[in-house]
Chain A
Amino acid sequence: MKNWPLWEVFVRSKNGLEHRHCGSLHASDATMALENARDVYTRRMEGVSIWVVPSSAITASNPDNNGEFFEPAKDKAYRHPTFYELPEELKHM
Chain B
Amino acid sequence: MKLVQYLYGIADNALILGQRLGELCGHGPNLETDIAMTNISLDLLGQTRSYYQYAAQILGGDATEDTIAFLRSEREYKNVLLVEQPNTDFAYSIGRQFLFDVYHLLLLQELQLSQDETLSAIAKKCIKEVQYHTRFSSDWIKRLGDGTPESKERMQNAINDLWTFTDELFHQTEADQAMVSEGIGVDVTKLKDNYYQKINEILIESTLAIPEMKYFQKGGKHGIHTEHMGYLLADMQYMQRTFPNMTW
| Bound complex: CA A19 to CA B33 (Å) | 24
Whether, in the assembled complex, A57 has its beta carbon less than 8 Å from a beta carbon of chain B, the answer is: no
Are A35 and B135 touching (Cβ within 8 A)? yes
Q: A1-B29, A1-B30, A26-B30 are in contact. Are A43 and B35 (CB under 8 A)?
A: yes
Residues of chain A contacted by B32 (CB below 8 angstroms): 25-27, 36, 39-40
Residues of chain B contacted by A55 (CB below 8 angstroms): none
Interface size counted on chain B using CB atoms at 8 A: 13
Whether, in the assembled complex, B36 has its beta carbon less than 8 Å from a beta carbon of chain A, the answer is: yes
Residues of chain B contacted by A32 (CB below 8 angstroms): 139, 143
The one of B36, B132, B143 that contacts A36, using a Cβ cutoff of 8 Å: B36
The one of B30, B31, B136 that contacts A35, using a Cβ cutoff of 8 Å: B136
Residues of chain A contacted by B172 (CB below 8 angstroms): none
Give the distance to chain A from B156, nearest Cβ to Cβ, in Å.
19
Whether, in the assembled complex, B160 has its beta carbon less than 8 Å from a beta carbon of chain A, the answer is: no
Are B39 and A35 touching (Cβ within 8 A)? no
Residues of chain A contacted by B35 (CB below 8 angstroms): 36, 39-40, 43
Give the distance to chain A from B224, nearest Cβ to Cβ, in Å.
35
Whether, in the assembled complex, A31 has its beta carbon less than 8 Å from a beta carbon of chain B, the answer is: yes
Q: A1-B30, A39-B32, A40-B32 are in contact. Are A31 and B139 (CB under 8 A)?
A: yes
Query: Which residues in chain A, 26-50, are within 8 Å of chain B measured between CB atoms?
Result: 26-29, 31-32, 35-36, 38-40, 43
> Which B residue sits closest to A4, measured CB to CB?
B30
Residues of chain A contacted by B139 (CB below 8 angstroms): 31-32, 35
Residues of chain A contacted by B31 (CB below 8 angstroms): 25-26, 40
Give the distance to chain A from B209, nearest Cβ to Cβ, in Å.
23
Query: Which residues in chain B, 120-145, are within 8 Å of chain A measured between CB atoms?
Result: 132, 135-136, 139, 143
| Bound complex: CA A40 to CA B28 (Å) | 14
| Bound complex: CA A39 to CA B32 (Å) | 7
Residues of chain A contacted by B33 (CB below 8 angstroms): 36
Query: Which residues in chain B, 25-57, are within 8 Å of chain A measured between CB atoms?
Result: 29-33, 35-36, 39
Query: Which of B's residues lie within 8 Å of A, judged by CB?
Result: 29-33, 35-36, 39, 132, 135-136, 139, 143
6 contacts between A and B (CB under 8 A): A25-B32, A26-B30, A26-B32, A35-B139, A39-B35, A43-B39
